Every structure is written in C-alpha cells, then in structure tokens.
Amino acid sequence: MTIGKIIDGKAFAETLRGKVADGVGAFIAKTGRKPGLAVVLVGEDPASSVYVRNKGKMTVAAGMESMEFKLPASIGEEELLDLVEELNADERVDGILVQLPLPPHINEASVIGTIDPAKDVDGFHVVNSGLLATGQEAMVPCTPLGCIMLLKDELGDLSGLEAVVVGRSNIVGKPMSQLLLAENCTVTIAHSRTRDIASVVHRADIVVAAVGRAEMVKGEWIKPGATVIDVGINRVTDTEDGKSRIVGDVATAEALAHVRAITPVPGGVGPMTIAVLLRNTLVAAHARAGLPRPEGL
C-alpha cells in the first residue's frame, strides 16, 4: 500500500513569512515607515486570544507595526464601529482585522462592512468578495489564499482539475471556490444538504474540506491520487485517556492510503492563515503608498 505525502504547511508558512519580512524591509526603505496592522479582539475566547497573540508576535517579527485592541465582550456594536472608523482614518494603519467570531449581540456583517475595503486584510468586505467573484484585483481571505498557495506548490497548474469544496462559509468555502475557479478548475461546492456527498467528493482531483465537523470526510470518499486540503480545526476529547487534541474535517489516517498529498491538522493550513495575513498587510501597504504590488508574493 502506498501512503500519500503530508504537505508541510508550517514550513511553507515560515518561508512565506521570510519573504514578507524581506518585502517589509524594501517597503521601509522606499517609504520611511513600517506597514501597520491593527487587530481587534472582542471578549476572551481562549482560541481567539491565542490567534491574536500569535498575529501580534508574527507581525512584529516581520518588521511591521502591530496595534492590538482588546475590548470586553460586553462592548456595544456602536462603540466597536467607532473604533473601526478611527482605524480607517489612521494613516499608520494599513490593515484592519476584527477577530471572529464576535459575541452574538454584535452583527458581524455590519462590523466587516464598516472596514475600509482597502484596509480589509481579511478580504471579508463585500467589495472585496465582489471583486474576487468578478475576477478583479481584491484583498483575498487569508485561509483560502493559503490553500491555493499550497495546492499550486504541490500540483503546479490547476487548470482543468475537478475540485470539490466541502463547506459554504463566507470565510472559506465561497472564496475558496472562487479562487479555484480563477485557476480554471471545475468547481463543486458540497454542503450539509448535498445528496450522496461521498460520491460527489469521489469525483474530485482536489478536495478542500471546510465544514468544521471532526473527521467527517472519510478515507474511502477520496479518489485515488487526489490532493486533499483540510481546513478544519476541531477539538476532540479522547474517550480512553480524556485528553483533548485537534483534528481536521478529514479522517487523515484513512485518507493517507488514497491521496497523492494531504495537509495535516495541526501543521497544515492553520499556519498559512497568519502568514497570508502578513502578506495581505504588505500588499495593502503598497497599494496605500501608491507602489506596485510586491513581487513574488
């Protein structure tokens, strides 16, 4: 039995962060200022707090200015919108990211819709999703762009390949399918109402699993030789020893016997999210400074 390759997203992300750091040095030499990223955290969700802390550390390590805003979960929507408006107007800020999820009393769409699209390094604003959907230059959501980078590194030209995206979220599933379409893939979006999802997934040369359900995609669903990108991060508790661990949306151990290559969880797509965020911030800084897009990013 042959075993597929495990794609090292952690190593790829590290290389990308190195390239961003080089680009930041060149940007500072040209403009005399650092690119700035403002990250807003509302509440104290433990996972979100860790992601925000890591974003801050990696922003600084790449030579950029990091601005963190930690707000209580009880904050009103108006107050949060006021902060976003202030950041829109702040010349030092090239990128604004509001960590998701937000507490239930705050309307995520309103908050995202208030961010200046030119500073929307998450690529979630409808202006950016519209630009992406119509094939124009856009700020592209970090996780899907990271997935495309890994896929192109593994497969080269994606043209003509059959891609199935499992999951239809605004953050991953929908932009992912747009990016695959832009790479000339034949794209299907499968979701909770899809009939016979196993046979839909079995058609795919590329499977992107982004449903948020632990190990939902089974090994036997995968076409032999397919490349699988697992976006899921699900915390599960082992019944035997009571210890918790993170698993993806794909049953990786089973899938390894079928795939050409697969991203692991952890260490696959996750690390790409922050590396691409830094890349997007540098791209936004160039655009705001009237400079051409940095090369090789």
Ligand X SMILES: Nc1nc2c(c(=O)[nH]1)N[C@@H](CN(C=O)c1ccc(C(=O)N[C@@H](CCC(=O)O)C(=O)O)cc1)CN2
Judged by the rule CB under 6 A, the positions of this chain that interact with ligand X are: 47, 51, 97-100, 122, 142-143, 233, 246, 265-267, 270-271, 273-274
The residues with which 227 forms a beta bridge, in sequence order, are 206, 261
167 is in an annotated binding site: yes
Q: Provide, rounded to whole angstroms, the least separation between the CB of residue 222 and ligand X.
A: 20
Q: Provide, rounded to whole angstroms, the least separation between the CB of residue 138 and ligand X.
A: 15
Alpha-carbon dihedral angle through residues 270, 274, 280, 286, given to the nearest 10 degrees: -150
Q: Provide, rounded to whole angstroms, the least separation between the CB of residue 271 and ligand X.
A: 5
Q: Provide, rounded to whole angstroms, the least separation between the CB of residue 114 and ligand X.
A: 14
Q: Provide, rounded to whole angstroms, the least separation between the CB of residue 54 and ligand X.
A: 7
> Can 178 be counted among the known catalytic residues?
no
- Catalytic, out of 19, 34, 119, 122: 122
| Cβ nearer to ligand X, comparing 10 with 33 | 10
- Amino acid occupying residue 205: D
169 is in an annotated binding site: yes
Place of tokens 């952890």: 266
| Cβ nearer to ligand X, comparing 6 with 100 | 100
168 is in an annotated binding site: yes
> Can 45 be counted among the known catalytic residues?
no
Per-residue 3-state assignment (H helix, E strand, C coil) for 107-139: CHHHHHHHCCHHHECCCCCHHHHHHHHCCCCCC
Q: How many helices (H) and strands (E) does the chain have?
A: 10, 11
Residue nearest to ligand X (CB): 270
- Catalytic, out of 19, 94, 99, 120: 99
268 is in an annotated binding site: no
Per-residue 3-state assignment (H helix, E strand, C coil) for 204-265: CCEEEECCCCCCCECHHHCCCCCEEEECCCEEEECCCCCCEEEECCECHHHHCCCCCEECCC
C-alpha distance from residue 246 to each of 164, 213, 217, 249 (Å): 23, 12, 15, 10
* Cβ count within 10 A of residue 137: 11
| Cβ nearer to ligand X, comparing 183 with 230 | 230
> Can 205 be counted among the known catalytic residues?
no
| 179 in Cβ contact with 152 (< 8 Å) | no
- Catalytic, out of 19, 55, 119, 223: 55
Q: Which residues are annotated as a binding site for NADP(+)?
A: 167-169, 233
* Active-site amino acid positions: 55, 99, 122
